[in-house]
Structure 1
Amino acid sequence: MAGIHVTDGTAVMSDINPGNSIQVVVVFDVPAGTVPTTLELHDSAFSGGAEVALR
């Protein structure tokens, strides 16, 4: 539900072509004091994923 409060209600449901970029707010519930450094993204449950640096 936190995501509803930080976005304009527009879902990111369109394709992002190679070379293009977008900016979105991603909300996670993590323990206090956690300092995330990477995020692993997958396009499906079966993909190898891609690691993205957060800093």
Structure 2
Amino acid sequence: QGKFIQAVVSIKNNGQKKAVFFDNDVKLIDDQNREHSTSSDSFYLGDANLMLKDINPGNSVEGVLLFDVPQDATPTFLKFDTEWLAAPVKVALQ
């Protein structure tokens, strides 16, 4: 009924402690200002999925975030809202 959107991202830990990245802390915001959570089907991405990734200080991880959105959704931003960021960060999509 909907469609899948894949967002390829690179995430770096600029902090002083290990951080755990939860894919559920990222929302896709569409052109109608609706927020979409990552899909549980991310599991099928294998090594590319970013569920519960540990990131040591200075290290980066790369992978894919998968979103299941309505057919009429046009992705505009990703909103990162994790406990190790000072405030939510919105990143424009290309």
TM-score class, shorter-chain normalisation, is 0.5 to 0.7
2:80–2:89 contact (8 Å) kept in structure 1: yes
What is the percentage of aligned positions where both structures have the same residue?
27
Q: Are 2:92 and 1:53 aligned?
A: yes
Distance 1:33 1:5, change over 3 A: same
Question: What TM-score results when the alignment is normalised by the length of structure 2?
Answer: 0.42
Q: Which runs of 4+ in 1 moved over 4 A?
A: none
Unpaired runs of at least 5, structure 1: none
State the 1:21 CA deviation.
5.1
Higher strand share: 2
Alignment deviations for residues 17-36 of structure 1 (CA, whole Å, 9 cap, x no partner): 4xx75421001121113111
1:39–1:53 contact (8 Å) kept in structure 2: yes
Number of corresponding residues? 51
More relative contact order, 1 or 2 (CA 8 Å, 6+ apart): 2
Unpaired runs of at least 5, structure 2: 1-39
Q: Are 2:73 and 1:31 aligned?
A: no
Alignment deviations for residues 3-52 of structure 1 (CA, whole Å, 9 cap, x no partner): 111132675221464xx7542100112111311110110122xx521011
Could you say what the CA RMSD is over the residues aligned between the two structures, in angstroms?
2.5
Question: What TM-score results when the alignment is normalised by the length of structure 1?
Answer: 0.62
